[in-house]
Structure 1
Amino acid sequence: MRTFNLFISHSWNYTDAYSKFVNLLNQRSYFSYKNYSVPPENPICGARTDKQLEAAIEQKIRACSVVIIMAGVYSTYSKWINKEIAIAKRLGKPILAVKPFGAQRISSTVRNAADAECGWNTESIVSAIRSLV
């Protein structure tokens, strides 16, 4: 079974959505992945400036096969999500936009950057990841 290297971009203001997303992937049979994201409980230590943090995030994205962005409307205004999109584009990494559970709208910034888009459904997410690699 192939292991997918994933960078799951998210806002720390919405950690509950991030945790639920990771749980969806963890509970999926016959799907193996390594999580390269930066959750609040495991921040990048040693980065003292935005430039150092950006370089550390770039190293994480460089190792990934897909960058996943939870595409809530808040993403449009997130400085870091926009930087992660730019890094993914520069490195040629495919971007998957995931519509948050129950959301009616998604970020146009993320939608325009995405190579694929899917809803908040385990099978849709896994299928989209596999199609991008």
Structure 2
Amino acid sequence: MFEEEMDLKTYQLFITRVSETSEEYERFIGRLDDAHDFNYENHSDNVLSGKSDKELLKNELEDPINSAEMVIILSGLYPTYKNMIMAVLELAHELKKPVLLIRPYGMEDVPAELEEASKGVIGWSASCIAGAIKGILNNDEDEYCEF
């Protein structure tokens, strides 16, 4: 790839994460790290661990989500952490941040309420994940894989 064609942008992301379920999160981060021609900064942290009150969660999430360009929801966390996921989703919409939904690893189905509230649903291909992020943030629908 020619240098002038390379994407030198660093994408600012908030990725849902809880310490109790780091396997899916770590797998996803590995995919992002493997994506060719894709740089990102992760604004998520472990503030969500052990908290279930939606308003408390939204208060703690406001700054990290506001500093990100996009929110990525790992939908595999939804059955166990519904309040957290809904707090993230509601706050993303309030702050006008696009939401990309990642299918549970190894599965096709995602909760309908999450799918309806997101810009798209994508699987676990590194190139499709990076392409979807770039496509949504750069308003270039040709950039990413089919949802």
Q: Give the alignment's TM-score, normalised by structure 1.
A: 0.83
Task: Compute the RMSD of aligned alpha carbons.
Answer: 2.4
Sequence identity of aligned pairs in percent? 28
- Give 1:27 deviation, angstroms: 2.1
Q: 2:120 aligns with which of 116, 119, 123?
A: 116
Query: Structure 1: how far apart are the matches of 2:57 and 2:72?
Result: 19
Give the stretch that moved more between structures: 51-60 or 26-35: 51-60
Q: Provide closer, same or farther for how the CA distance between residues 73 and 63 of structure 1 changes in structure 2, counting only shifts above 3 A.
A: closer
Q: Which amino acid aligns with 1:58?
A: E
User: By how many angstroms is 1:82 displaced?
Assistant: 0.2
Greater relative contact order (Cα < 8 A, sep 6+): 1
The amino acid across from 1:92 in the alignment is K
Aligned to 1:17: 24
Deviation at 1:30, TM superposition (A): 1.5
Whole-angstrom CA distance in 1 between matches of 2:30 and 2:107: 19
Pair member with larger Rg: 2
Where does residue 26 of structure 1 map in the other structure? 33
Q: What count of residue pairs does the alignment treat as equivalent?
A: 127
Taking the aligned partners of 1:2 and 1:92, their CA distance within structure 2 comes to 21
State whether residues 57 and 87 of structure 2, in contact with CA within 8 Å, keep that contact through their aligned partners in structure 1: no
User: Gapped runs of 5+ residues in structure 1?
Assistant: none
1:66 equivalent in alignment to 2:73: no
Check conservation: 2:14, 2:42, Cα contact below 8 A: yes
Distance 1:89 1:75, change over 3 A: farther
Q: Distance in 2 between matches of 1:82 and 1:94?
A: 14
